[in-house]
Chains A and B, each alone.
Chain A
Amino acid sequence: MKSATLDIDRLREAVRQLPNRGLAPSREAALAHLDEHGLPTLRDEDWKYTDLSPLVDISNRWLHAGGHQPTSADRPDIADAIPGSIDAIWFVIADGAVDATPIGHSEARGIQVSRLSDAPPQFAAGRPLADLNAALRQDGLRIRITERLDKPVGILLIDRAGANVGVTQSYIEIEVAPDASADLIEYHVSDGEQDHYANSVLTLNIGEAAEVRHVRIQNRAKRHVQTGRTSVVPGRNAALRMASYDLGGALIRNDIDIDLGQPGADVSFDGLYLAGDGQHIDNHTRVDHRVGPATSSQEYRGILNGKCRCVWNGKAIVHKGADGTDARQANHNLLLSEKAEIDAKPELEIYADDVKCSHGTTVGQLDEKALFYLRSRGLGKNHATRVLTHAFAADLVQRAPVTAVTGTITDLVESRLGELIEADFIADLLT
Chain B
Amino acid sequence: MLDIKDLKSRIGESEILRGLSLAVKKGEVHAIMGPNGSGKSTLAQVVAGHEDYEVTGGTVDYNGQDLLELSPEERAREGIFLGFQYPVEIPGVNNAYLLKAAVNAKRKHQGLDEIDAFEFLKLAREKMALLGMDPKFLNRGVNEGFSGGEKKRNEILQMAMLEPKLAILDETDSGLDIDALKAVAEGVNALRDPERAIILVTHYQRLLDYVEPDYVHVLSHGKIVRSGDKTLALELEERGYDWLREAATG
Interface on A for B, CB 8 Å cutoff? 367, 369-370, 372-381, 383-384, 387-388, 390-395
> Which B positions have Cβ atoms within 8 angstroms of A?
48-51, 71-73, 75-77, 81-82, 84, 87-88, 90-93, 97-98, 101-102, 105-106, 109, 141, 158, 162
Known: A372-B50, A377-B98. 8 other contacts (CB 8 A): A370-B90, A376-B49, A376-B73, A379-B73, A379-B101, A388-B93, A391-B92, A392-B92
Given contacts A375-B76, A377-B162, A395-B92, contact A387 B71 (CB under 8 A): no
Alpha-carbon gap, A375 to B81, bound state (A):
11
Residue ID in chain B nearest A377 by CB atoms: B102
Bound CA–CA A370/B76 (angstroms): 15
Kindly state the separation between the CA atoms of A388 and B75 in the bound complex, as whole angstroms.
21
Q: Are A370 and B92 in contact (CB under 8 A)?
A: no
What separation, in Å, do the CA atoms of A367 and B93 have in the docked complex? 13
Q: Given contacts A367-B88, A378-B77, is CB(A387)–CB(B101) below 8 Å?
A: yes
Bound state CA distance, A377 and B73, in angstroms? Answer: 7
CA distance A384 to B106 in the complex (A): 14
Cβ-defined contact, B109 with A387, below 8 A = no
Query: Which of B51, B73, B84, B97 is in CB contact (< 8 Å) with A378?
Result: B73
Whether the pair A377, B90 counts as a contact (CB closer than 8 A) is no
A375 touches B71 (CB 8 A): yes
**Complex-state Cα separation, A234 to B242, whole angstroms:** 72
In the complex formed, the residue of A with least CB distance to B99 is: A377
A373-B93 in contact (CB<8A): no
Residues of B within 8 A of A370 (CB): 88, 90
Q: Which residues of B contact A380 (CB under 8 A)?
A: 73, 105
Bound CA–CA A395/B93 (angstroms): 10
6 example contacts (A-B, Cβ-Cβ < 8 A) are as follows: A375-B73, A377-B158, A379-B101, A388-B93, A394-B93, A395-B92
Cβ contact of A391, chosen from B71, B81, B90, cutoff 8 A: B90
The residue in A377, A381, A395 that gathers the most chain B C-beta atoms within 10 A of its C-beta is: A377
Expressed in whole angstroms, the minimum distance between the Cβ of B155 and any Cβ of chain A is 10
Q: Which residues of A contact B87 (CB under 8 A)?
A: 373
Nearest residue (CB) in B for A397 is: B92
Are B101 and A376 in contact, CB atoms less than 8 angstroms apart? Answer: no
Q: Is the CB of A387 within 8 A of B105?
A: no
- CB-based nearest B residue for A394: B92
Is B90 a contact partner of A388 (Cβ separation < 8 A)?
A: yes
Q: Cα distance A380–B77 when bound, in Å?
A: 10
* Nearest CB in chain A to that of B82: its residue: A376
A383 to B71, CA, bound (A): 14
**Chain A contacts of B92 at CB under 8 A?**
390-395
Q: How far is the CB of B154 from chain A (nearest CB, A)?
A: 11
